[in-house]
Amino acid sequence: MQTAKIVADPEFRIGEVDPRLFGSFLEHLGRAIYGGIYEPEHPISDDMGFRRDVIELVRELDVPVVRYPGGNFVSGYNWLDGVGPKERRPKRLDLAWKTLETNAVGTDEFCEWARRAGVGVYMAVNLGEGGINEARSLVEYCNHPGGSLYSDMRIANGRRQPHDIKLWCLGNEMDAPWQLGHKNADDYGKLAATTAAAMKWVDPTIELVACGSSHRGMPTFGDWEATVLDHTYDAVDYLSLHQYYFCDPVKAPPPLDTYFPQEPVPLGTYLAKPILMDDFIRSVVATCDYVRAKKRAKKHMYLAFDEWNTWNPRAGDLQGVNDNPWQVAPPLFEAPYTHQDALVVGLMLITLLRHADRVKIACMAQLVNTIAPIRTVAGGGAVRETIFYPLLHTSRLGRGTVLDLQVRSPHYENDEFDTVPMLDAVATLNEAREEVTIFAVNRSQDGPLPLEGDLRGVAGYGVVEHLVMEHADPRAVNTVEQPDTVVPHNRGDASLADGRLTATLPKLSWNVIRLSKAAGR
C-alpha cells in the first residue's frame, strides 16, 4: 500500500485566514428565506417569526457573514418593495426563479435576523435592472445615521440605529445570459465603477466586490475579469468567483442547459473537480496581478469566492418552476446531500484555505434549504446535511494561519484528469491556542491511505483528536428520520511522537487531525 507524506513547519506560511472565508449566502429562492429562516407559524419561532432552531444551527457553524438577497433574484429586486409596513408591500413576479415574492422579509427583517444569528450582512445591490440611484439609496437607508430621505425612512420604519453594513457586492453574475439585465464586460465595468464611487461617497467605510465570472467554464472567463478590473481596479476591493460542482445529469431549459451536466459524472472525476477550483483561483489571481502591473498599482486585488458548493438539482427543480410558475416559496434545490458531496465540499474548503493569502471572503451557497447545509421541515425540525460537517470543522478549527504544507501522494488518473492525488490536505496554526489542525481527504475508492507527517517545529505537540467522516455508501444521506447516518466520529488513529505523525485515512474520508501543545505535555 502506498503512503502519503506531508511536511509542515510553522516557520513557513501561506497567510492569515480571514474569518469571512467561512461565510454563507441566503437568497430569496425556494424555501431559503420563507420556510427556512422565517416561519412565523412555527411553534418555536421568535417574536419576529424567525426559527430559533435555525438560528442555533447557524451559530453552531459560527458563520461570520451572509450574502443577501441574491443571487439571480437581486437582479430584479427593488429593495423599496421590502421595507415599511408589511401590509403595503407589493407582491412581485420574481423572473429569476419564476416565483411570487411576497416581500414579507426585506432589508430590515434580514438585518435583524443577522443580528440575532450573530452574523454580519454582505449586501448585494441590483445592477441588472437597477442602477446607481437604487444602490446608493440603499447604502443611505442602511448606513446613514439620519436626517436624509432614506435614513429617515429607516428610522420611520422603526430602526433608529443604522444597520452599518460594511460589505457590499455590485450585482450578481452579470456575465451570465440567464441574468436579468445581463451586460458585456465593458458596460458592466463602467456601471460598477460609477456605482462604486457613489456608494463610497455615501459611506467611505464600506468595502465593495465586483462581479467576476459565473464559473470557470464561461466563454468570456478571463477577458471578463481583465476588462471589468480595467474599469474598477481603483474603485473596488474584491473580485468575485462562483463555482458549483455537479455529479448527476439534469434536463434544464436553455440557457441553463450549458450550466448543468447533461451526462453523469463518475465519482473519481467528481472528487477531482476541486483541482479546477484551485486552477480557477490561480488564474483569477494572475489576471488581477496583470491588471495591477498594467496600472502600476500599489494595491492588490483580493478575491471573494462568494458562491461555491456542490449541487444536485433534480429535474423538477428546473422544469417544475417553468411548468407551474408564480408559486410562493416552492421547495427548490432541496435534494439531500450525500457523503460524496461532503468530500467534495471538504476538498473545496481545503482549496479555499490554501489560497488564504488572496481569497479573503467565501460564501457557501447557500445556508438553509436551497443547496444548503441546513434543511428544515415545515412545522417540524431541522437537519444537518452531510456538508454541514466539513464547514463546521473548518469554520471552528481552521482559523489562524495557513501553513505552507508540502504534500506527496499516490495518485490516479482518468479521462478528464491526468493526475489526481489521493490525498489533499491543508494545515492551520492557531498561535494563541498553540494548536495545529490538519484537514485531509482521502479520495481513494479502493482502500485506506496511510499518512506520514514530518511536523517540524511542533515536536512537543500531541494529538487532541482525529475526527473522521466515512461511510460505506458514497450516496448515503442524512434524513429527518435518520439524521445521524453520515456524521463524524473521533475514532481516527492519528498519533504524534517527536514531531512525526502517523495516521490512517479510511477510504473516501474527510479527516480532521487536531494537535496541540497541551496534548503533548
Q: C-beta of 351: minimal distance to ligand AHR in Å? A: 19
| Cβ closest to ligand AHR, residue 123 vs residue 371 | 371
Nearest-Å Rg of the Cα atoms of the chain is: 23
d(CA 210, CA 109): 26
* Min dist. Cβ of residue 506 to ligand AHR (A): 32
Catalytically active residues, by annotation: 173, 307
- The residue type found at 379 is G
Nearer to ligand AHR, 100 or 198 (CB): 100
286 CB contacts (<8 Å, ≥6 apart)? none
Q: Which is nearer to ligand AHR, 366 or 444 (CB)?
A: 366
- Relative to beta strand 462-469, strand 411-412 is unpaired
Nearer to ligand AHR, 27 or 109 (CB): 27
Report residue 72 as a C-alpha cell: 439571480
DSSP 206-270: -EEEE---SSTT-TTTTHHHHHHHHHHTTT-SEEEEEEEE--S-----TTGGGTS-SS---HHHH
DSSP output for 407-467: EE--EE--SS-S-EESEEEEEEEETTTTEEEEEEEE--SSS-EEEEEEETT-TT-EEEEEE
Q: Supply the minimum distance, in Å, between the C-beta of residue 260 and ligand AHR.
A: 10
Least distance in angstroms from the C-beta of 238 to ligand AHR: 16
Contacts of 346 (CB under 8 A, 6+ apart): 390, 439, 441, 469, 510
CB nearer to ligand AHR: pick between 260 and 412? 260
Question: What's the CA gap between 254 and 64, in Å, rounded?
Answer: 36
Q: How far is the CB of 71 from ligand AHR (least distance, A)?
A: 3
Minimum CB separation of residue 392 from ligand AHR in Å reads: 21
Q: How far is the CB of 307 from ligand AHR (least distance, A)?
A: 6
468 and 326 in contact (C-beta within 8 Å)? no
Q: How far is CA 15 from CA 10, 134, 363, 404, 428, in A?
A: 11, 37, 19, 9, 10
Measured from the CB atom, the residue of 27 and 140 that comes closer to ligand AHR is 27
What 3-state class would DSSP assign to 159?
coil
Nearer to ligand AHR, 30 or 488 (CB): 30
Rounded CA separation 281/274 (Å): 11
**Which residue's Cβ has the minimum distance to ligand AHR?**
71
For residues 352 and 449, which CB has a smaller minimum distance to ligand AHR in the complex? Answer: 352
* Residue 373 CB, nearest approach to ligand AHR (Å): 13
Q: Measured at the alpha carbon of residue 467, what is the angle toward residues 466 and 468, in degrees to the nearest 5?
A: 115
Instruction: Provide, for the chain, the percentages of residues in helix, strand and coil under a 3-state DSSP scheme, each rounded to the nearest 5.
Output: 30, 25, 45
Write the CA distances from 357 to 17, 107, 306, 353, 395, integer angstroms: 8, 32, 16, 9, 17
Any idea what DSSP says for residue 100? E
Q: How is residue 101 written as a grid cell?
A: 415574492
C-alpha to C-alpha distance for 198 and 441, rounded to whole angstroms:
45
Which CB, 68 or 150, lies closer to ligand AHR?
68
Q: Least Å distance between CB 95 and ligand AHR?
A: 12
Residues that bind ligand AHR (CB under 6 A): 27, 70-72, 172-173, 214, 307, 365-366, 371
